[in-house]
Amino acid sequence: MGRSSRGPSAPREPVPNERLALAAMMFAVAMTFIDQTIVAIAAPDITHELGLSSAGMRWVVNAYLLSLAAFFALGGRLADVYGHRRIMLIGTLVFVVSSILCGCVPTGEVAQAWMIVFRATQGLGAALMFPAALAVVVAVFPVERRGRALALFFGVSGGLTALGPLLGGWLTTWTWRAIFWVNVPVAVIAIVLTVLARIPNVEREERIDVPGAVLVALGMGLSVLGLQQASEWGWDSAATWVCIVGGLLVLAAFCRYELRLSEHPLIQLRVFRDRAFAVDNAVLFFAMLAFVPLFFFASVYAQVSLSASPNEAALYLLYFFIGFAITSQIGGRILDKRGARPAMLLGTALGAVGFALWAGKLTDLSFSAQWPYVVLAGAGIGFLLAPASTDAVNRAIGASYGEVTGITQTIRNYAAAVGLAVYGTVLAHITTERVAGTLEERGVPAALARQAAQKVTQQVTGHAQERGPAGEGGVAVLVKEATQHLRMDFAEANQWVFYGMAIALGVAFLCALAHPGTRVTDDGSIRG
């Protein structure tokens, strides 16, 4: 038999194992979803042991979200250029090493900076890992089986957001440091499965938009810095407005730069020309102002005002996920039959009503009076989240699935960071005012009452009213005696936060009204 004239054949790429690849990617991204909520439960314990201020603790939560938003699009581009498998593994290693270092934070003056820095690198690891993992699933599965694989990828990994509070409550009873260390075995499993799955690493020769990456990170960072520090710098401070306005101007410059960049932009902004896509993302932005920040504020409220343990606070949040889990399935069916608009309208309306009613019951200091509204608020978010996200991806005209997911994830995480910053500033201000008023009613001079109130506010997430007061001498005794009143003060301050979340969902409802009402069918056509 003659030898082929084409010469020696090129070595064949190994055929990837689809199931192992999907399992590996789900284990990897599970860590990123869990870490959005798990820290909220442990916030009081972290604050107390490390001596963090309330603003410092918010930065510990927000550094992760902000870093994830700022670098998500860059992570997607790096995966395209250097290979999905390689960047996914690098992201996993960055994430897990950062997790270990967060759990090993020393006490003392360096604690706050240590935690913020390594929470930010955790977010960077997640930003590298998530888009690369998504791209692996898209590349490994053929078109006819890709839809089911992606549904499982998003469904299971996204559902693990609910596991964060429960896992955090259980681990915190041992040590809060375990909420970071738990990522180690999960990462090891993800890495081992990735190796066993024989996933090919395909590289491209493309330019990386470094100026765009710098502009979006700087713009997001400056704007959130100004919003979050407003409680300490004051709204009349020049530094506050320089950061906020400067950050927004940088983001505007980023958009202008990206639209003028003809080849390989960091984000394909042209997809916003589709009105439905723009509306979907507007709804997601305002909904995320409530969804992720909720876990931090509700957890701290439960542990301070309701005197709940971390486990009890986790169960408090579980009721939210009960409503969320039920309606997310119904929302998916509405999307398939009638499009995203009805689901978004129903979800934003229910969410706005649920958060408003929940806010009204916070001062009852009783979980039994609140749980129906907790479920209702969760149901509202459940109705809208998957339909808005899926409809946005389906509208990816002229852009890849990964690029559009990069846009929606960037918007979602930036909104969460903004929400945490704004609500945190409001909470700190109102809490200080309420506590100062309580102490003045007990005969403390106004200046001394405000000074003590500011210290109580800084430490309230660490159960300051139980573990030692913020004043000296007679003021300290009065703070201890006023514990019940201080819990009510904190509940009243939280009402402003929850009403703010209701307003955000009300704005999302108005945005949803602008949706054209069309839907994308399986064959890619658009129907009314």
> Residue 128 and residue 196: Cα distance in Å, rounded?
21
Q: For all residues of the chain together, what is the average pLDDT?
A: 83
110-167: pLDDT as tens digits: 999 999 999 999 999 999 998 888 888 878 877 667 667 766 776 666 566 667 777 7
Report the range of poorest mean pLDDT among 402-411, 444-453, 459-468: 459-468
Name which of 326, 325, 345, 324 is nearest 391 in CA terms: 345
Q: 143 Cβ partners below 8 Å, 6+ apart?
A: none
How many Cα atoms occupy the beta-carbon half-sphere of 66 within 13 Å? 27
pLDDT of 56 reads: 82
In the predicted model, is pLDDT for residue 6 greater than 60? no
Looking at 78-92, 209-223, 300-314, 497-511, which range is the least confident one?
A: 300-314
Q: Assign 414 a pLDDT band (cuts: 50, 70, 90).
A: very high
Q: Look at residue 7 and give its three-state secondary structure.
A: coil
At 238, phi and psi to the nearest 5?
-65, -35
Give yes or no for residue 248 having a pLDDT over 80: yes
Task: Count the residues in the chain.
Answer: 528
Which pLDDT belongs to residue 470? Answer: 41
485 vs 491, residue with greater confidence: 491
pLDDT, mean of residues 432-443 = 83
Query: What's the pLDDT score for residue 482?
Result: 53
pLDDT exceeds cutoff 60 at 469: no
> Side chain identity at 287, as an amino acid letter?
A
- The pLDDT value recorded for residue 151 is 64
Task: Work out the angle between the directed axes of helices 275-304 and 163-172 (0-180°, nearest 10).
Answer: 20
In the chain, % of residues over pLDDT 90: 34
**d(C-alpha 516, C-alpha 514), whole Å:** 6
Cα distance between residue 397 and residue 39, in whole Å:
37
% of the chain with per-residue pLDDT over 70: 86
**Quick check: helix, strand or coil at residue 264?**
coil
Q: What is the pTM of this model?
A: 0.83
> If DSSP codes are grouped into helix, strand and coil, which group holds residue 521?
coil
Overall average pLDDT of the 205-232 stretch: 87
Backbone conformation region of residue 353, classed left if phi is above 0, alpha if psi is from -120 to 50, else beta? alpha
CA dist 98 and 114 (Å) reads 10
Give per-residue pLDDT as tens, 170-185. Answer: 888 888 899 999 899 9
Can you give the three-state secondary structure of 150-211, one letter per residue?
A: HHHHHHHHHHHHHHHHHHHHHHHCCCCCHHHHCHHHHHHHHHHHHHHCCCCCCCCCCCCCHH
Q: What is the pLDDT of residue 147?
A: 61
Is pLDDT at 5 greater than 50 in this prediction? no
pLDDT at 475: 44
Do 456 and 450 meet the contact criterion of CB atoms below 8 Å apart?
no
CA–CA gap between residue 93 and residue 106 (Å, rounded) = 22
Of residues 83 and 329, the one with the higher pLDDT is 83
Over 80: is that where the pLDDT of 506 sits?
yes
Across 278-309, b (16+ Cβ under 10 Å) vs e yields bbbbbbbbbbbbbbbbbbbbbbbbbbbbbebe
Q: Where are the alpha helices (DSSP H) in 234-309?
A: 238-260, 275-304
pLDDT, residue 144, reads 66
pLDDT at 12 over 70: no
Residue pLDDT, tens place only, 307-349: 888 888 888 888 998 898 888 878 878 887 888 899 999 999 9
Cβ neighbours, 10 Å, residue 145: 11
**What is the helix (H) or strand (E) element at residue 80, kind and residue range?**
helix 54-82
**Longest distance between any two alpha carbons in the chain, whole Å:** 105
d(CA 131, CA 88): 8
